[in-house]
Amino acid sequence: MEGVQAMSIKGKAYVMGAYEHPTRDAPDKTTAQLHAESAKGALEDAGLSFDDVDAYFCAGDAPGFGAMSMVDYMGLRNVRHTDTTETGGSSYLVHLNHACQAIAAGKVNVALITLAGRPRNGGGRPGGPGGGGGKPGALSDGAPEAGFENIYGGSTHNTYGMCAMRHMYEYGTTSEQLAWIKVAASHHAQWNEHAFLKNVVTVEDVVNSRMIADPLHLLDCCVVTDGGGAVIVTSPEVARSLNRPKVKVLGAAEAPKMPLGGQELDLTYCGAVWTGPPTFAEAGVTHADIKYASIYDSFTITVLMTLEDLGFCKKGEGGRFVADGNLISGVGKLPFNTDGGGLCNNHPTNRGGITKIIETVRQLRGEAHPKVQVPNCDIALAHGTGGSLGVRHAAATVIMEREA
């Protein structure tokens, strides 16, 4: 098949560093430490540094939240690709294959794959409770940041609240401007028969709703819903054989963002600063080409920061950009989340990523509700934010096109 030949990994990637940790019994080291020491050994073997790594792969033996805890712990500041595929002992060969694919696609240049654990010392088992066996007073071998974060009552509400508070402090963003994001979502949700919240709200409704976590009000928050979703991605050959409008992926990028030791903590921007430019470059389009955008909307502030960081407006001008209905389909310049988004329609199992793809596909097919369908919607963008903007998160951007 032509597609398979075109994207073969053959000759496209090399294994240039390898290191087996000398320990066979580690009573005095954490699992995170063994991951980091192994990484250091492999990088030194290759003659590379941690700053050269732009892709990180780990499986269930890595403590913490997916790849994010280890990326943060190791200070991997240039990672733009992560993969936490978990298939037990074969994970690392799966990772090698995935790393080759990412390199062959030109997405990354240096991939780091790590494994570590301490079964002789009661360390965390993959998928287990993270060590200590749950015994009071026992040492943990879980997420290295846990003892310095989980104790402070952090939730999505107040960690995003901290971002909004700092954004207001630095840029003069107001609660009324944030409210416009919810207002726009509600204008769209009124036409969605499945939307969890179908009522149209005003700026006053939002700013007068109950304060949840300063400065975020109840109506600045997304809905909590059960549910699900799925998408199908095919080769060009299969796409041509199917009797559905063809939605072509033009470009995509991903990036985690971490506190990284705290010296450069800045909660006013998100990983979209790193996913936007490569996605637009790969797609070969500009912001003016984007007719519709699905923007992750766990909270109103998530949308505002993402729009700025993707470059739809200058940094700090997000408040003015979203005001006065600029995100409402048929009214403003950038129709967003025309299904009502996470703020009004659906945020199944507290993860809004797949619904962002789904509404983008509806818009590109011309199958959105007629009241919110963007005319001639040929190019659209979807963006996801996972984890917490206020602690550590991963951003992902995709640009898609309706193929005539």
Partner 1 sequence: MSETTDLMTRPIPAPAVTLETKPFFDAAAEGRFLIKRCTACGKAHWYPRSMCPYCHSDATVWEESPGTATIYTYSVMWRSPTGPYAIGYVTLDEGPAMMTNFVDVAPDALKIGMKVKVKFQPTEGGPPVPVFVPA
Residue ranges binding partner 1 (CB under 8 A): 28-30, 32-33, 36-37, 40, 49-50, 72-75, 130, 132, 136-137, 139-155, 157-159, 161-166, 169, 210-216, 259-263, 265, 267, 391
Nearer to partner 1, 136 or 370 (CB): 136
Write down the least CB distance from residue 197 to partner 1, Å: 18
Q: How many residues does the chain have?
A: 404
Nearer to partner 1, 5 or 263 (CB): 263
Nearer to partner 1, 263 or 376 (CB): 263
Nearer to partner 1, 131 or 251 (CB): 131
Write down the least CB distance from residue 143 to partner 1, Å: 8
Write down the least CB distance from residue 41 to partner 1, Å: 11
> How many whole angstroms separate alpha carbon 71 and alpha carbon 50?
10
Nearer to partner 1, 75 or 88 (CB): 75
Nearer to partner 1, 145 or 254 (CB): 145
Give phi and psi for 383, each to the nearest 5: -135, 135
Write down the least CB distance from residue 332 to partner 1, Å: 29
Write down the least CB distance from residue 21 to partner 1, Å: 13
Three-state helix/strand/coil letters over 138-173: CCCCCCCCHHHHHHHCCCHHHHHHHHHHHHHHHHCC
Nearer to partner 1, 123 or 251 (CB): 123
Nearer to partner 1, 137 or 370 (CB): 137
Please report where in the chains the tokens 């290191």 appear, as a residue. Answer: 19
Confirm if 320 and 334 have CB atoms less than 8 A apart.
no
Confirm if 202 and 350 have CB atoms less than 8 A apart.
no
Confirm if 138 and 129 have CB atoms less than 8 A apart.
no
Write down the least CB distance from residue 98 to partner 1, Å: 25
Angle, CA of 304, 309 and 311, to the nearest 5°: 100
> How many whole angstroms separate alpha carbon 72 and alpha carbon 393?
10
> How many whole angstroms separate alpha carbon 28 and alpha carbon 334?
55
Write down the least CB distance from residue 32 to partner 1, Å: 8
> How many whole angstroms separate alpha carbon 350 and alpha carbon 332?
28
The residue type found at 124 is G
E strand map for 172-303 = 211-213, 216-217, 246-257, 292-295
Q: Which residues pair with 256 in a beta bridge?
A: 394
Helices in 198-352 by DSSP H: which ranges? 203-207, 236-241, 272-283, 300-310, 318-322
